[in-house]
Chains A and B, each alone.
Chain A
Amino acid sequence: MKQEEIQVFINGTISYFAEVTGEKAELGIPYTKGPEQLLLDYSGHIGISGNRRGGLYITCPREMLADVTRKILLTDEVDDQSIFDMIGEIANTIAGNARTSFGSDFNISVPTIFKGKPANFRIVLRTPVVVLPINWKGYQAYLVVGID
């Protein structure tokens, strides 16, 4: 991916958290992912097809998702299902919004969401895979993008 394409995902992530929660996320310096596993409590993956191929996923700690969910639903009480669902919605929105820059042949799949580090799940990404560290309200999360 080109630098300006990485910037699309940086801008999309910053804009997502600002619009949805009113509190800006800060993005760390992107780096190329090695063979290490990078999965936190919950992850949401989107497959990309059409004019580009590969995928992306966002992985977050549970408390961060609970906090975002509380802000969206305007309540202090959130259930596990909502928190689980939240990760898919974040991935879907960031990937979907990227279509404005990548064009209408940039097709996104429905999100696949998972908890922890499932042994049998294969995350579809194309190399090189770029990691964008996200810091929101002191929580550390990652957007991982692998699109050819």
Chain B
Amino acid sequence: MSRAVANACSRWYILLFSAGIIISEKHVTALAKPQGEPMKLMIVDDSSIMRKAIEKYLTVAGIEIVGTAADGKQAVELFKTTLPDVVTLDITMPEMDGLQCLEELLKIKPDVKVMVVSALKDEATALEALKKGARSFLGKPFTPESIKEAFDQVVAD
């Protein structure tokens, strides 16, 4: 485990390259929002297998899946109507890639928590995603355990 420089807001991130996970340093535990409402999650990936797998692995009490999208453009449109609290976001997608999509989502809702989930798990790509405002970066392939762990960290941040 090593520490690396954080985003423009001078936050520190713990880089867990061995597990392909990069997460925020803060860690609290609750999944539901403080008011007791379910946490709204949107899943964005051009692979239907990955959308189904993430949905299956992250379907837990306190989480409501409000939508899934297969590309960045679709994601932005869906985001405007569902305004999720958390988004899992692939990078390599048709129409609009994940990093462009991330910028658009943050313009609409600056406090959305975006967890980038990508096969492009080199350090430069991960840091670029974090600099653009992602809260976490998880490399593919992932296991049910690794995505749950990364997701819990993002939600608790």
Contact = CB atoms under 8 A, between A and B. Distances in A.
Contact of A100 (B93, B121, B144): B121
B39 to A, nearest CB: 22
B48 A82 contact: yes
Interface stretch (A33-41, A102-110, A115-123): A102-110
A69 B122 contact: no
A74 interface: yes
Nearest to A81: B48
Contact of A20 (B47, B93, B139, B141): B141
Residue among B120, B124, B125 facing the most chain A CB atoms (10 A cut-off): B120
A92 B119 contact: yes
A85 B50 CA distance: 9
Given A82-B48, A92-B47, 20 more contacts: A16-B141, A20-B141, A20-B143, A72-B49, A73-B49, A73-B52, A73-B53, A81-B48, A89-B47, A89-B49, A92-B140, A93-B140, A93-B141, A96-B120, A97-B121, A100-B121, A104-B124, A109-B92, A110-B93, A110-B94
B85 interface: no
Nearest to B46: A110
A88 interface: yes
Contacts, number: 64
Interface string B31-67: 0000000000000001111101100100000000000
A95 interface: yes
A89 B50 contact: yes
